Every structure is written in structure tokens, then in C-alpha cells.
Amino acid sequence: MKFEININNSLVEVELQNKKHIKHCYLRVLKKDLIQIKANRYFTLNDAKILIERKKEWILENIKRVEEKTLEDGYFLYLGEQKSILEFNIKNLDTFYKKEIENYIPFLVEKYSNLMQLFPTKISYRKNRRTWGSCNYKNELNFNILLMKYPLFIMEYIVIHELAHIKHKNHSKDFYSLVEKYSPKYKEIEKVFKTLL
């Protein structure tokens, strides 16, 4: 079900999805003029309007964040900065990111492998929707080519994180102690990364 509401003199479309198996209510700002609500089948249009009114400040904050992240046409993100597609003569952004990340990751992996004394058996790259890096049971590391969009310190942290998985195949206390040894500000980096996503 879709409907429109007025928030601070701007028309915003609301997409209400009623799902049978959802226990909680999920509110997301998808675009500056589009909000999504996922809730159980008993959640009504009136409930949605009450929720929006209650969460108005949060919605405005997130609309602002979405607007800040929206790039102008012809621009892309490269190591945390907006760059012109024309300037780089890019035909396919994914191909460009894959080629570029191969100039950064091997150097970072070599640097931290030697420091941590943890060595991967293979490094590969692909575009993933959810994971930024992974380490399998064979100690093969995979990195998301979209890391090229973000500042270099984030890529560096992901490399340390995945190398630590060679020793600890979990997110235990020991795992994070090892990460912290080589990335003392990893908690701050994770917070910054979340705000950029």
C-alpha cells in the first residue's frame, strides 16, 4: 500500500508492506521522498501515520543523510571523495573499481600479513551486496570492489579484520583483541563506516 504525507512542507511517499511473519515494525528512509515501513498484517494505515509522526525527527535526520549521500549525475565516489566520470573516462564503474582495488589490497594484505604473521592462501575480488570482506575455511580472502568508494582507512581495517579470521573463524573476544592490536580505533572506524553506508 502506498500513500503520501507532508513532512516539513515536502511531500513524501510512504510504502507500507504488511508481511505475515514480521514481529516488529521496520522504518527506512530509501530516498529523500520515499519511506518504507515493513510491519505485520495487523499494522494499519493509521498506525503508519502515528509511527511517522512519532518518528518525525528521526525521519528528517535520515532524509538529510540520504540527500548528503546522493551524488550528482556524472560523479562517483573514489576513496571517500566525489570524482567526475568524464575526468577518469569511465565506461563501466564496476570494472574501474575492480582494476583500482587490485592496486591497493595486495599491498595492504602484504603489509599486515607480515605484521600479524597470518597469510592468506588466495585473494579475490567481487561486487557484493552485503559483505565487505570474507575469509573461508581455506583461508582465502575475498574483498568487495565497492570498498573503493570509501576512505582508505576503512579498506585497511577490513584487511586487518579478514586476516584476523585466519586465526579466529568467529567474532569472539580473542578475535577482537587481535583486531584491536593492529587497528586500535576499530570501533570508531566501524561507526564512521556505518554513517557512510
Domains of the chain, each with CATH number or no CATH: 2-69 (no CATH), 75-196 (3.30.2010.10)
pLDDT in tens, 84-137: 888 888 889 999 999 999 999 999 999 999 999 999 999 999 998 889 999 999
User: What pLDDT shows up at residue 168?
Assistant: 97
pLDDT at 70 > cutoff 80: no
> 47 — alpha (psi -120 to 50), left (phi > 0) or beta?
alpha
The beta strand positions in the chain, using DSSP E, are 2-7, 10-19, 26-31, 34-40, 75-78, 81-84, 122-126, 133-135, 140-144
Length of the chain: 197
Give φ, ψ of 118 to 5 degrees: -130, 120
C-alpha cell at 80: 571517500
